Amino acid sequence: MQSYSEKVVVVTGAASGIGRALAQQLSMQGANLALSDVNMEALEETASILRGTGKVTLQKLDVADRGAWEAYAEQVKADHGQVDMIINNAGVALSETVERMSYEDMEWIVNINFWGVVYGTKSFLPLLKERPESAIVNVSSIFGIIALPTQAAYNATKFAVRGFTESLRQELKDTNVFVTTVHPGGIKTNIVRNGRMKTSMTGDNQTLEQQAKHFEKIAKTTPAQAADTILEGVKGGKRRILIGSDARLMDRIQRLFPVRYSDIFGWALKKLG
């Protein structure tokens, strides 16, 4: 996809962070946007700061609700007439040991981070196949490549998004639908503040505020930089998009030390703690 001008792009989790930055950049590049989030007030704020002239529609959407997705796909088709790209960006964080983690918390994150991607992909795939060129962009994480303590649930969902998307990409390789997986490192968003952060990765009982401040110190990439990397990656036909120097470094270490990387990162966590 060499241009976003006059394309219809669906973006989930568009009320803040990477989703909002994607909406801003796509708007400036002439796209028509179907934006969704569970936070309608913040979503309307996103719409208010867009500077493009394309059509923008807003929808309150719980990505964990399959029926809502199916209705949303029909609504977007009715509103825009076509769909050229979907960016499954919405996601949440959970930090807790496997032993202490509740089933309710596990189901919560799986329903949003994994099933939300599955529902979004399957609901819009028939519409995407109607277009001469189209794209599915599924946001995983660097934690879809490496695993760390207290991140078992988050790792599980992001590894699942990676596997689902890489398989889908092979199934659609001879079609008009381009498929890519996005692996952000630390991005300056509210994911920690909005998450269920019950035990920090260093194993201590830091408060949510302490974890959020620590994350803000180590997260070096802005949402705008992340959005730019994603959109340029789609234009360049990249099948895996790594965002940030931290993600690229961790990916490289995992490739060099596919088993022992955990020892390396464990040492780094102790230093950070």
Q: Specify whether the CB–CB gap between 236 and 176 falls below 8 A.
A: no
- CB hemisphere CA count around 88 (13 angstroms): 34
Region of 182 (left: φ > 0; alpha: ψ -120 to 50; beta: rest) is: beta
Which residues share a beta bridge with 151? none
Q: Is 4 known to be catalytic? A: no
The Cα 84–Cα 80 span in angstroms is 10
| Segment holding 57, helix H or strand E | strand 56-60
Alpha helices in the chain (DSSP H): 17-28, 40-48, 66-80, 103-109, 116-128, 152-171, 208-218, 223-235, 245-256, 261-272
The Cα 201–Cα 148 span in angstroms is 7
Which residues share a beta bridge with 33? 9, 56
Catalytic residue among 72, 119, 154, 261: 154
Which residues share a beta bridge with 182? 139, 241
**Nearest CA-CA partner of 83 in 55, 48, 124, 114:** 124
Q: What is the 3-state secondary structure (H, E, C) of 192-247?
A: CCCCEECCCCCCCCCCHHHHHHHHHHHCCECHHHHHHHHHHHHHCCCCEEEECHHH
Q: Which residues are catalytic?
A: 154
